[in-house]
């Protein structure tokens, strides 16, 4: 029997309820979903280490038997090939996400024509939620309850006002 495997790549710094909503949707479609955290991001220093992000994602996805958490370096298409994945899943919250996502999807297609990118929409209640805004709001003393899982709030509180 053919099993269809997908990769859901990202920074997940930290994982939000929007990410988890997307994971739940993708887990229903694919036989196996690998949530993959980029190790060598060029972005400004992350709030959480890759290991902390793996721990949080593992906790957040523990109820899904067909979801695993992994990390990768270098090109996404190389990791997808190593994993023998058929597709990449990315979330689109609003039209503003589309341009960047389309660019990445087409670049990945150029690098690996067999690998499809599938866009999924999170629930509308998460359409404004991003890891970057969650960090900003928290840093400035606002509540992020309901936007990220409780265990992420706890870890952010333990980190203090970074
Ligand atoms: O959650 P993010 O930060 O928007 O995720 C971006 C990510 C990790 C999916 C993207 O930066 C990526 O795939 N990086 C790996 C390097 C790569 O393959 N670059 C070329 C593809 S355009």
Over residues 104-128, the pLDDT tens digits come to 999 999 999 999 999 999 999 999 9
Domain boundaries, the chain: 5-127
Query: Quick check: 140 pLDDT over 90?
Result: yes
Rounded mean pLDDT, 67-91: 98
- Residue the block writes with tokens 């099993």: 3
Given ligand 1 and candidates 6, 7, 11, which is best to mutate, with the most ligand atoms within 8 Å of its CB? 11
| Residue 139 annotated among the catalytic residues of the structure | no
Q: Note the CATH number of domain 5-127.
A: 3.40.50.620
Query: Quick check: 40 pLDDT over 90?
Result: no
User: Which H or E run contains 52?
Assistant: helix 50-60
Rounded mean pLDDT, 13-23: 98
Query: Quick check: 161 pLDDT over 90?
Result: no
Strand arrangement, sheet containing 32-38: 67-72, 32-38, 5-10, 87-91, 116-120
Q: How far apart are CA 84 and CA 45, in angstroms?
A: 31
In percent, the amount of the chain with pLDDT more than 70 equals 98
User: Count of CB atoms within 10 A of residue 22's CB?
Assistant: 26
Please report how the helices 17-29 and 50-60 are oriented relative to each other, as an axis angle in degrees rounded to 10.
60
Q: 120: CA distance to ligand 1 center in Å?
A: 16
Rounded mean pLDDT, 132-138: 96
| Residue 93 annotated among the catalytic residues of the structure | yes
Provide the pLDDT for residue 1: 67
């Amino acid at each position: 029997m053919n099993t269809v495997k997908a990769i859901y790549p990202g920074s997940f710094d930290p994982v939000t309820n929007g990410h988890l909503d997307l994971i739940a949707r993708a887990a229903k479609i694919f036989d196996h979903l690998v949530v993959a955290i980029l190790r060598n991001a060029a972005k400004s220093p992350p709030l959480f280490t890759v290991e902390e992000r793996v721990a949080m994602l593992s906790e957040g996805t523990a109820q899904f038997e067909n979801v695993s958490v992994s990390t990768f370096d270098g090109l996404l298409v190389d990791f997808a090939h190593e994993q023998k994945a058929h597709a990449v899943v990315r979330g689109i919250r609003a039209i503003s996400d589309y341009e960047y996502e389309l660019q990445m999807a087409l670049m990945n297609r150029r690098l690996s024509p067999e690998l499809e990118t599938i866009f999924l929409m999170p629930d509308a209640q998460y359409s404004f939620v991003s890891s970057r805004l969650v960090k900003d709001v928290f840093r400035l003393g606002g509540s992020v309850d309901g936007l990220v899982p409780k265990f992420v709030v706890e870890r952010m509180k333990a980190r203090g006002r970074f």
